Amino acid sequence: MNQNIFSTSSITLSKSAVRQNVRFVKKKLADNVLLSAVLKGNAYGHGIKEIVPLFESANVKHLSVFSTHEAELVCQVKKKTTEVMIMGWMEDEETEWAIENDVEFYVFEIGRLEAAIHFAKRLGKKAKLHVEVETGMNRTGFEQEHLEEVMDLMKENKEYISFTGLCTHYAGAESITNYIRVVDQIKKYKKICDLFEENGLVPKRKHTACSAAAMSYPETQMDMVRIGILLYGFWPSQETFIAYQRSNGHGQDGLDRKVKHPLKRVMSWRSKIMSVKEVPVGEFVGYGTSYQATKKMKIATVPVGYAYGFARSLSNQGRVIVNGKRVAVISTVNMNLMIINVTECKNVGKGDEVIMIGSNGKVNVTVASFGELSNQLNYELLSRLPMDIPRKVVI
């Protein structure tokens, strides 16, 4: 039975947008740098199972996820030759599944390294390890004082280990305010690389760069980059976009509005009007007294609220598109619905399309505009979209 029949909204994913974004990123990479597409957070809200074939169709051959659960979802739909890497959560026992299925994974604790060696011995198969080192993010990664123990374990068990990567993560490459901190991290990482190589441990791939670092600090690209938000059509920050424009000669302030935007948004999110009614002047609308009609007005309810990914912080601030016109979200966003002001919309009625993310002609509503209104990041808004919203691929 058609899932859309029972859904209050739907998401479409553009195959051509994915290809455009992959082309753009690859052009910005140095020769022989492997692109790994990051799929954490349900592929930034786009849907792991739906997005994997789209990246593969754009010749992306390496995918990065956060957890074993996400890796398992990827393995259900990926091509046999596509590589998968787990960057975060794994139970130690889950390393057996990863080794068995040729899934690469980070190690950033001695316990996980020991578990990887244990299960590799039991399976008689090498564990594909990416050793994450601490350079200044202070989140996960082996600190300097543990590196000797790590290297000793790796050398003692080299027949059970494939040293697939040596990696770190930068603390805020999307903002110039973190410049000194990022530069220090680059220096620390290079020293650690030298240390490993002096001990006869040479990684197959050195990788440190996320979307922001790959764009703003080209020297961080190394052998592989882990690109997330850019591939979905969004910049990590306004600063990163401005830096891109400046580097391409688009004006001193980096804000040349005539320049065609190089990225395309992969996602659009739509619903329908549930009900339309008129409200007399002076009446309050919705819960509480946050919105009062200053004139006779027409309102519509839309069956999407904060339980479905439309943040409550967008109450009296959000915008959606109805019949080609951008209209305001009024009153408090409810758990299951929002109320919109359709007074200026002609011939509006039940069943009319409502666009929460996307465009109608030249009128558009972006995730970035949500962020500006609600003080949320692109990443947060996207990854909070419920997994059970139907997702459909379009050309």
| pLDDT tens digit sequence for 28-74 | 999 999 999 999 999 999 999 999 999 999 999 999 999 999 999 99
Which residues are registered as beta bridge partners of 207? Answer: 167, 224
pTM of the predicted model as reported, rounded to 2 decimal places: 0.92
- pLDDT classification of 258: cutoffs 50, 70, 90: low
Summarize pLDDT for 96-140 with one digit per residue, the tens.
999 999 999 999 999 999 999 999 999 999 999 999 999 999 999
Residue 380 has pLDDT above 50, yes or no: yes
Q: What is the pLDDT of residues 199-219, one digit of tens each?
A: 999 999 999 999 999 999 999
Q: Is position 112 annotated in a ligand binding site?
A: no
Say what angle helices 68-77 and 48-57 make with each other, to 10 degrees. Answer: 60
Query: 6-41, pLDDT tens digit by residue?
Result: 799 999 999 999 999 999 999 999 999 999 999 999
pLDDT-above-90 percentage for the chain: 85
Catalytic: 40? yes
The mean pLDDT value of the chain amounts to 93
Backbone angles phi, psi at 311, to 5 degrees: -60, 140
CATH code, 267-394: 2.40.37.10
Pairing state between β 275-279 and 325-330: unpaired
Distance separating alpha carbons of residues 201 and 154, to the nearest angstrom? 8
| Phi, psi for residue 270 in degrees, rounded to 5 | -135, 155
In words, the CATH class of domain 32-233 is: alpha beta
Instruction: Please say whether the beta carbons of 168 and 108 come within 8 A.
Output: no
HEC profile of the chain? CCHHHHCCEEEEEEHHHHHHHHHHHHHHCCCCCEEEEECHHHHHCCCHHHHHHHHHHCCCCEEEECCHHHHHHHHHHCCCCCEEEECCCCCCCHHHHHHHCCCEEEECCHHHHHHHHHHHHHHCCCEEEEEEECCCCCCCCECHHHHHHHHHHHHHCHHHEEEEEEECCCCCCCCHHHHHHHHHHHHHHHHHHHHHHHCCCCCCEEEEECHHHHHHCHHHCCCEEEECHHHHCCCCCHHHHHHHHHHCCCCCCCCCCCCCCCCCCCEEEEEECCEEEEECCCCECCCCCCCECCCCEEEEEECCCHHHCCCHHHCCCCEEEECCEEEEEECCCCCCCEEEECCCCCCCCCCCEEEEEEEECCEEECHHHHHHHHCCCHHHHHHCCCCCCCEEEEC
Question: What pLDDT was estimated at residue 63?
Answer: 98
Q: Is 160 a catalytic residue?
A: no
Query: What is the structure's pLDDT at 1?
Result: 47
Catalytic option among 179, 191, 277, 287: 287
Phi/psi at 262 (5° precision): -75, -15
Confidence band (pLDDT; 50, 70, 90) for 246?
confident
Tens digits of per-residue pLDDT, 331-364? 999 999 999 999 999 899 999 999 999 999 889 8
CA distance 119 to 96: 5
How many other CB atoms are there within 10 angstroms of residue 197's CB atom? 12
Domain boundaries of the chain, sorted by first residue: 32-233, 267-394
The confidence score (pLDDT) of residue 375 equals: 54
Q: What is the pLDDT at residue 238?
A: 83
Cβ 143 vs Cβ 126: under 8 Å: no
CA dist., res. 126 & res. 111, Å (int): 17
* Distance (Å, whole) CA 58 – CA 89: 28
Confidence class for position 319, pLDDT limits 50, 70, 90: very high
| 32-233 and 267-394 have identical folds | no
Q: Answer whether 207's CB lies under 8 Å from 225's CB.
A: yes
**Phi, psi (degrees; rounded to nearest 5) at 349:** -160, 175
User: Which is more confident, 97 or 379?
Assistant: 97
CB proximity list for 98: less than 8 A, separation 6 or greater: 68, 71, 86, 90, 104, 105, 127, 128
Contact 85, 103 (CB under 8 A): yes
Residue 8 is predicted with a pLDDT of: 95
The answer to whether the annotation marks 139 as part of a ligand binding site is yes
C-alpha distances (whole Å) from 321 to each of 5, 200, 236 are 22, 60, 25
Does 370 score more than 70 pLDDT? no
Q: What would the two tokens of residue 305 be? A: 């609220």
